[in-house]
Structure 1
Amino acid sequence: MRIDFHSHYLPPRFFERMDALQASDRIESYAVFGPRLAAAADRQFASGPAAFLEHRLQDMENGEVDLTMLSVGAVQPYFESAPAAIAATRLANELLHEAVAAGHGRFGAFGSLPLPHTAAALDELAFCFDDCGFQGVNLGCSAAGSPLDAPEFDDIWAALNDRAAMVFLHPGATPQMAVGSAEHLLAPAFCGPTEMAIAVCRLVAAKIPLRFPRIQVIAGITGGSIPYLANRWDRGLRMSDPALHEEIGGVLPSLRRFWFDTSLIEDDHLYDTVRATIGVDRLVFGSDTPRGPVMEAVDAVLRSDRLSEQEKHRILDHSGDLVLGATTGRFARPNP
């Protein structure tokens, strides 16, 4: 089955709620990405959600995609105010649920959580799984200044582990990590890959994959800069903290406990680096739609001269089944 693990659903109602909660003044990612994504949503949803979803289904047909996992992505509603975070997150999940119900079994969803508020996040996690039937959650690479491996989030990881859930990591929480990075689309090109690599490697150092082994974590944009710099971190950690390096079993074997999507399609040579570090067998298909047509992302795999035919088949049509097979594999239930 061909599964697209990286696809976003952001109708105008989401941005209206975020604007009403003054997200641009309160959330870094929304200040940078919100206006541009809101303008895109106005164009994409000009004929309404039903027309948007029909277009998405046709796009899936063009790419022979069987199932698309929808998520919020970069503009997670991570307000420091718990009531604001809860209100925005609940709407985001209700919108995802409506989309899944309208998708004729072709859409799944990664729900959002009102981080950094652990108790509220646990309540919303139950809503995502028990009321909506989602297959997993979408997390930013950090939450209102807290890393995902922060001890206060242990109960969330434990709850996800109990449900054998999927976790889809998406960058964008800290697009202003470097001077001037908020301009000229530098943040998604350079900060996002760095942010993703730091988040995943912190999870490794905190032994999250070892402590919560039933969770299937999928890192967006091919793990960002991980394929390029994993060996450098492995050497550094081995020298600076040999006990931790030994305890986790080394950096590269630890990274192979994650999955990585293929949405970083601009560099075909990346597959050579992936093969030498995390392994091509840890790749799953991801398009990052509606950034571009899904067929563009499919073609990036099919036309690659860096991948064997067997590897292309595994990425597009086999690895996704392995991820779903290791989780609850549930599809969201339609609204009554």
Structure 2
Amino acid sequence: MSGRVDVHNHLIPPRYQARLDERGLTAGGLQAPAWSEDLALAAMDAHGVETAVVSVSTPGVHLGDDAEARETARQVNEYAAELVGRHPGRFGFFASVTLPDVEGALAETAYAFDELHADGLILLANVGGRHLGDPEFEPLLAELDRRRAVVFVHPSTLPGPAVGGIPPYIADFLLDTTRTAVSLVRADALRRHPGITFILSHGGGFLPFAAHRLAMTSTFDSDRTVEDFLADLASFRVDTAQTSSPTSLPAVLEFFGADQVFFGTDWPHASDSGVAYFTRRFAEFDLDDATRRSIECDNARALLPRFTTPRA
């Protein structure tokens, strides 16, 4: 086993899946794959993952009703904590919260960190068309800053009608991640809340490819400089899920630096064959041993206290 720490790995608790099925909901057009504890462990072993930090993917826990969302968040977070407890060292988890219900999100944040000992939160890149830089979410960001929390940002379905023949998970997810990163930077949220460590899914969407354009055009209605915007955009952490290709990974490493890149698979929403494809590409990429180890495990172990010491 390589000792990889996978920060982008999903779980699908049975009761949560039943609620999605009742409403005909999918993960951005992707039907829910099979998930179980045993399947997760088998996939981890197959792909050299020592530890998976699991989270609930889009559409998240808020399906339209605040009270139901609070109940669902509590259920999935307790389910994740129990999974971690059964397999010390094999699992961690990013807790789900109830945005756009900010009051509920603050309450669940306290419970997740103080009682369940979550490793961080998962926040969807947009909730009902509002991205994470929206002023409405400021109280939650302030609390996460106070707690010096890790926030894993996962894309969701973009607001507006879907594009015929292109399910959201194929291309829109990358735009959603980019939009929320830009919204946080333009709202000056990163500088006001330096205690939060944001990990963006899928190599940061389009950020490494379009950062200079995004920074330059952001100056049109701001007194800030291109260099200021670039510095903020480059301060995000990112994962390698579905990004370890000969065209994407060099841009990710060049823009963010290897010390801000974390190994990720997106299993099981990325199938076993999909995970194998990108994991093989990553293994073939020309990296020195120290850089490879940083991405595969050291960066995550330095950030997440639960995993500071590898399993024996």
Q: TM-score range by the shorter chain?
A: 0.7 to 0.9
Q: In the alignment, what sits opposite 2:117?
A: 133
**Contact 1:271/1:280, CA 8 A, preserved across alignment:** no
User: Unpaired segments of 5 or more residues in structure 1?
Assistant: 25-29, 45-51, 332-336
Is 2:226 the partner of 1:243?
no
Q: In the alignment, what sits opposite 1:124?
A: 108
Q: Which amino acid aligns with 2:9?
A: S
| Deviations 1:301-332, CA, capped at 9 Å, x for gaps | 22114x444432221132212322xxxx247x
| Deviations 1:17-63, CA, capped at 9 Å, x for gaps | 3445x4x4xxxxx35647711xx23xx4xxxxxxx323422433343
Counterparts of 2:244 and 2:196, CA distance in 1:
29
Segments ≥4 residues shifted beyond 6 Å: none
Counterparts of 1:286 and 1:200, CA distance in 2:
19
| Deviations 1:123-181, CA, capped at 9 Å, x for gaps | 1111111121101110101112322122221111111112211100001232x646525
Counterparts of 1:228 and 1:10, CA distance in 2:
32
Counterparts of 2:214 and 2:76, CA distance in 1:
36
1:314 to 277, 290, 294: 294
1:257–1:265: structure 2 CA closer, same or farther, 3 Å change rule?
A: closer
Counterparts of 1:119 and 1:212, CA distance in 2:
19
1:211 to 192, 198, 204: 192
Alignment map for 1:43-54 (pairs within 5 Å) = 44=35, 52-54=36-38
Q: In the alignment, what sits opposite 2:147?
A: 163
- State the identity as a percent: 27
1:64–1:212: structure 2 CA closer, same or farther, 3 Å change rule?
A: same
Q: Which amino acid aligns with 1:243?
A: D
**Contact 1:141/1:148, CA 8 A, preserved across alignment:** yes
Is 2:96 the partner of 1:112?
yes
The count of corresponding residues between Structure 1 and Structure 2 is 302
Deviation at residue 266 of structure 1 after TM alignment:
6.0
Is 2:70 the partner of 1:91?
no
Q: In the alignment, what sits opposite 2:182?
A: 201
Q: TM-score, normalised by structure 2?
A: 0.87
Which segment is superposed worse, 97-106 or 226-235? 97-106
2:49 to 55, 65, 87: 65
Deviation at residue 189 of structure 1 after TM alignment:
1.8
Deviation at residue 110 of structure 1 after TM alignment:
0.4
Helix, strand or coil at the partner of 2:291: helix
Q: In the alignment, what sits opposite 1:323?
A: 303
Counterparts of 1:31 and 1:302, CA distance in 2:
31
Q: Which amino acid aligns with 1:269?
A: T
Q: TM-score, normalised by structure 1?
A: 0.81
Q: In the alignment, what sits opposite 1:261?
A: 239
Helix, strand or coil at the partner of 1:133: coil
**Contact 2:27/2:169, CA 8 A, preserved across alignment:** no
Q: Which amino acid aligns with 2:292?
A: K
Counterparts of 1:32 and 1:292, CA distance in 2:
14
